[in-house]
Amino acid sequence: MTRNIAGCYFKRIGEADRAVIVRELVDKGKLEKWRKEWRESGFSEDDLKESEELGMKGLQDQILGCLSGNKKDCGPTRYFLFDDFEDRVKGILSRRLEARLIQDPESVKTLAQMNSEVAKRRSYGRRTEAAPGDENCLLSWSNGSADWWSRSGYMGKRISKGDEVNLDANEILVPHSCDEVIELACLLDDLPLYGCSTEAKERGEVDPMEASVCWALKQMQRAEFEEFQKKGK
């Protein structure tokens, strides 16, 4: 698994939950020092409160930037935070995730089912599947962000049981609502085809020569399969 699970999870748990976590990461001593400096500069209590609220909200994006490895997005208000805030937030997220998996064994089963579908995606080309559940979620892998993204609709409408859905090589269809699996998607295995991609090469995650050969062979397999399908019609 190559991607940043902590950054993915922090982004997807919802703004209200992120706000609670941010408060746990704030160093009260640093915050009080900042408040004192503001008061001594002549700002009113209303100005101070408004600035503090904006700062706390901005910290969500800044923490996400730090977790994603983009240090330039950590922002100036990070001085509110404990010096080891990155380790602290990873610990908080880890405990939250462990609690969910322990309290809801069905989540573990769902994750295993989704990874089983991911493991099948080893060749390029499109395919058609019938939606298996009363609720369904279409998950798409992005080589650019090295992550799974979700949507509950297809061709402008909600995916219902039995609907025929045309899927690309980077997509899987699972019989669960997107709300149910959006956080679990952070734990999914990488798309097997990612190892053949230009993005994986540029990130130094795979041997460039092996990735190029992998891509070429997969394209040959795709062409052969499409030719076979044409002859069968």
32-66 pLDDT per residue, tens: 998 898 889 888 899 888 888 888 888 887 888 77
Domain spans in the chain, listed from the N-terminal domain onward:
5-103, 105-232
Mean of pLDDT values over 92-97: 88
Comparing 21 with 78, which gets the higher pLDDT?
21
Cα–Cα separations (whole angstroms), residue 61 to 27, 74, 125, 147, 176: 18, 8, 37, 18, 29
Average pLDDT over the chain, rounded to an integer: 86
Residue type for 73, please?
A: D
pLDDT number for residue 155: 65
User: What is the distance between the alpha carbons of residues 30 and 36, in angstroms, rounded to a whole number?
Assistant: 10
Comparing 222 with 79, which gets the higher pLDDT?
222
Can you give the pTM of this predicted structure?
A: 0.75
pLDDT number for residue 1: 46
The tokens of 41 are what? 């500069």
Q: Give the least confident one: 65-79, 183-197, 218-232.
A: 65-79
User: What is the distance between the alpha carbons of residues 218 and 208, in angstroms, rounded to a whole number?
Assistant: 15
134 band by pLDDT with thresholds 50, 70 and 90: very high
128 band by pLDDT with thresholds 50, 70 and 90: very high
The tokens of 21 are what? 């976590």
pLDDT number for residue 71: 58
Contact status, residue 110 vs residue 181, Cβ threshold 8 Å: yes
The C-alpha angle with vertex 121 and arms to 117 and 127, in degrees rounded to 5, equals 95
Give the residues across from 174 on adjacent strands: 137
Question: What sign results for the dihedral spanned by CA atoms 62, 67, 70, 72?
Answer: positive
148-181 pLDDT per residue, tens: 988 877 766 889 999 999 999 999 999 999 888 9
pLDDT number for residue 43: 87
Q: Exposed (0-12), middle (13-18) or buried (19+): which is 136, by Cβ within 10 Å?
A: buried
Comparing 130 with 5, which gets the higher pLDDT?
130
183-208 pLDDT per residue, tens: 889 889 999 999 999 999 998 988 98
